[in-house]
Structure 1
């Protein structure tokens, strides 16, 4: 096992993070540090029988922390998933949540921890206006987050993306206290990710950084984090993709994912504005959808972002220092990681193009796009992405 100062640390930005190989063994201490005595481990259906889940629960049990399991989370978590998790939390008389898995599991678990003490419906806490003021903070449960993918960075996020199945919309549920109290970032937990999931989640981390870097506004701290996050993705994602047991690459990608989520406090943009409704309507993988969309949104935004690409090209050590150098590299990077070029290749049709455009315009991420976008502009980008038209 590779260890040493380059892989292990204790970080406190944006929340406390225990970082390094093997640190999942400290889960009982993490739970106790947040006052938990009967935690509920929440994960997705695909991890329900995984050895890492069994080991985490048995480790807690051995340490005197009886731990329940709720694995009823879909790849695109729904309000019904959250409701079922709340019911399991209350039935088991639990006092805290272990959010364990990829972005979907983490998002659902954070929403469960929010909702266990609320008397309003989940959608009343959508990230609109002052809705967060409605939250009964005293009723929220503490959260230990354990990411098993390197993509969304939800382990350091203050929001959850949850699908409203009635309206087929992805809603962003937000409160500052949704930020987990402690994160265990153990790269050994990501070793089993298959290459295609490694690629899709890893490019999601890159896109968080890219959209944050390009978003308008003054936030040099977020921009600095975003630039380094993109460099880590360029250098280490291909390594993790080629060799899933490369612990150094896995650790760097976990860092890049958390950095992306920290950076996008500055904003996101058209990639996420489109990916959210596409995922809600067609149940596509979020990271893969983002990866396909990126160059199409870049082309639309070229007039507004071209000047910023010179610095990014230097950070990425590209042969050239302009927009075209970055754009060519993005296309090559996607190809190297086996990302399809068009939405049609992941079975997204044009049948609801106008609706996707309207839903994307209403998504909060649209407001951070470098070029102002409306439903018509977003529909046009969507149509090009389905067709594979990069003109």
Structure 2
């Protein structure tokens, strides 16, 4: 099967091995003549990044990069990036990397010509309407991991360093104008990052599938996304050069982020504040709490997950699916609990308050409150 195609859901996507060669054409197609490539510190000197810059420079689009991006990108990262963006007279962003670089790049394009502060655009009610839509520059997204699916998202997740909270900045025009999904870019991912980002994709699909909200299209996408992760993540972890597995995982990542238009839930409601306070890897944190959240939600989702397990080829219904998550975590060397992840002597009351304030709580199939959320956090330690 030829794993290549041009898709337009939810935004134009050029999918296939080797398609990074189209990066300059992609910029020109969306009206970018002087892009700023936004990536992270770990990627900035790697051959895949330098090759992308070579392609942009050869096409007359300049050679500019910003890479001061934290693992959990912050408002300070946005400020620093905006200074570079504006000083360089850039007119668009190439967001290049994993979820952190993609979220930061999207935020820079969004904030490029806004006059209000960043936190005024948090995903609360209609706050997104405060933004000047003409002050948002175009974005070309190029993921180099297969997890967050931020390349097809209408939001950026950023940490407010003052409050130690992760905030979701939302606007429809944060959605990249064009995406290049080239699985060859993920071949160099270390096994631990392959696992953590892959389990993030699984968490997106799982929570979207379990969300009580009505969105049949997302429901179907979430189910197939879970199947792809279950089948191909172990292969990608075992052999990073398995381009078929890498391609299917890249699809699953985009599918998860598309599916969670239906909603997320307690996995993300817990992992967002934990990541903000302890700077843990987001996808790995999701994997650590996943089994406990499944048990927390069991009464509301068991029959639905019985059906999902059957589709995934997992025997034993809900119990089998729950066990499979544990099996994957052990296979990938993921910590067994939050304590092993580095969450030591946590302020459970503060984490509970932050979890309940997270927008993801609204998509959880069991209503979360102060008592059951604190108990869930304790169970994850």
TM-score strictly above 0.5: yes
Residue 188 of structure 2, aligned match among 192, 196, 204 = 192
> Shift of residue 172 of structure 1?
0.3
1:329 maps onto 2:324 in alignment: yes
Contact 1:360–1:375 (CA under 8 A) maintained in structure 2: no
Residue 348 of structure 1, aligned match among 337, 343, 354 = 343
Aligned to 1:294: 290
Residue 245 of structure 2, aligned match among 242, 249, 252 = 249
For residues 188-233 of structure 1, the C-alpha deviation after alignment (integer angstroms, 9 at most, x for no partner) is 1000000011000000000100000000021110000000000000
Aligned to 1:358: 353
Aligned to 1:279: 275
Aligned to 2:122: 126
Q: Which segment drifts farther, 79-88 or 329-338? A: 329-338
Secondary structure class of the residue paired with 2:262? coil
Aligned to 2:74: 78
What is the alpha-carbon distance in structure 1 between the residues aligned to residue 287 and residue 306 of structure 2? 22
For residues 67-93 of structure 1, the C-alpha deviation after alignment (integer angstroms, 9 at most, x for no partner) is 310001000000000111111110000
What is the alpha-carbon distance in structure 1 between the residues aligned to residue 200 and residue 2 of structure 2? 24
What is the alpha-carbon distance in structure 2 between the residues aligned to residue 224 and residue 75 of structure 1? 31
Aligned to 1:153: 149
Secondary structure class of the residue paired with 1:76? coil
TM-score by length of 2: 0.99
Q: Where do 5+ consecutive residues of structure 2 fail to align?
A: none
Q: Where do 5+ consecutive residues of structure 1 fail to align?
A: 387-391
1:171 maps onto 2:167 in alignment: yes
Q: Which segment drifts farther, 56-65 or 162-171? A: 56-65
Length, aligned pairs only: 381
> Shift of residue 350 of structure 1?
3.3
Aligned to 1:389: none
Aligned to 2:57: 61
TM-score by length of 1: 0.96
1:28 maps onto 2:24 in alignment: yes
Find runs of 4+ consecutive structure 1 residues off by over 6 angstroms.
none
> Shift of residue 375 of structure 1?
2.5
Residue 134 of structure 2, aligned match among 135, 138, 159 = 138
Contact 1:211–1:267 (CA under 8 A) maintained in structure 2: yes
Contact 1:22–1:186 (CA under 8 A) maintained in structure 2: yes
Aligned to 1:238: 234
